[in-house]
Amino acid sequence: MASSNATFTCFSAAPAFLYSSYGLRHSHFGTTTLMRTSRMRGSLRTRICAKLGEKSALQYKKLGDSDLVISEITFGTMTFGEQNTEKEAHGMLSYAFERGINALDTAEAYPIPMSKETQGKTDLFIGSWLKSQPRDKVILATKVCGYSERSSYIRDNAKVLRVDTANIKESVEKSLKRLGTDYIDLLQIHWPDRYVALFGEFSYDPAKWRSSVPFVEQLRAFQELIEEGKVRYIGVSNETSYGVMEFVHAARVEGLPKIVGIQNSYSLLVRCRFEVDLVEVCHPNNCNIGLLAYSPLGAGSLTGKYIDSNSEPARKGRLNLFPGYMERYNKSVAREATIEYLELAKKHGLTAVQLALGFVRDRPFVTSSIIGATSVEQLKEDIDAFLITERPLPPEVMADIENLFKRYKDPAIL
């Protein structure tokens, strides 16, 4: 390594995010010279420049106790069919897999926001792309809807969506048809059949309890699909410790398939729900369930693009395109925390994206970060940030993150 006053030059191949104090998304590419001083103690920004000419590679991990070896980035596809055309979707999918991503996540409910007019388009776009791909090189994860009184249009004859045998099987058959494949690698329950505090709710409300489909019935339906060769492994999403333990217990007692993954929100703005007790439940020495962390950028808020609400990136962002959608990430306390994290990143020579993705990437309980994008350029920025940020984040960065976390514990929870 060069001496402490070494100078490195980043040429035009450098990602655009290197040139902004806060790492806001933009398209300008240029040339800059960065000085590594003794005060910065070998800043990450300097080390990034030194590594730009190197070929970075994603790492791969087993998902729980399954045989699925999954890339540490999973490509999220919920914008396909709403914000993205089929051509755009294919371009991003191909780019993602060229960069080493081997897993993609979809759902029968996609694209989001849900609507009767667009439901299923995401799968159709993926299916047309899959026709030109070796199927065994793609880990395909999808999700069956949980309880819903508003989305009955997804089923042929149902007033309420449930996670019972009939609903699960109809969901899978339709998903397979749209995707143009004969099997799903990972089938997940998108959200539980029973009442749980969801999507920004913090506290469980006993008054909202309702009867639900038994865990055993859900697992038996999955077992039949596995025996038929239509599903390889199963998982859950937006689940709690109680739900995970009930599924694991039912599988052990009844000899049914065990869940291998849990897809929950996890980021600098949403940590407690997983860290408080799910991390113990899912630990390899206990239930051995891998976390697929969605929204590692806090629905895009941790890029910093929503701080200036009048900026073009903010106006084009999902939180403004769809009023009320994930508004918990844009409320005052979440914005305050985001600004603090932007300053923290700047202090350590990092962009906002590098800090946010690096933090989630380094958690030992995270198997893969689910990262979505609306353009190849945006996807490239995220993958580059994920790969070239020092691994793991230095102790001084983590210390500052933890100090800030003490002031802002899960500010994106309503």
Indicate which residues carry an active-site annotation: 110
Strand, coil or helix: what is 226?
Answer: helix
Cα 100 to Cα 382: distance, rounded to the nearest angstrom: 13
Picking from 55, 47, 126, the residue whose alpha carbon sits closest to that of residue 88 is: 126
Map residue 57 onto helix, strand or coil. Answer: coil
* Secondary structure class of 44 (helix, strand, coil): helix
**Region for residue 40 given its phi and psi (left: phi exceeds 0; alpha: psi -120 to 50; beta: otherwise):** alpha
Residue corresponding to tokens 């058959």: 173
Helix and strand tally (H, E) in the chain?
A: 14, 12
Classify 335 as helix, strand or coil.
helix
Tokens of 250: 């039912």
Q: What SS3 state is found at 300? A: coil
How many angstroms separate the CA atoms of 355 and 141, rounded? 27
Query: Please, which residues bridge with residue 103 across strands?
Result: 139
Nearest Cα neighbor of 280 from 269, 288, 272 is 288
Q: Extract the tokens encoding 158.
A: 């149902």
C-alpha to C-alpha distance for 388 and 13, rounded to whole angstroms: 14
CA 202 to CA 287: how far, in whole Å? 24
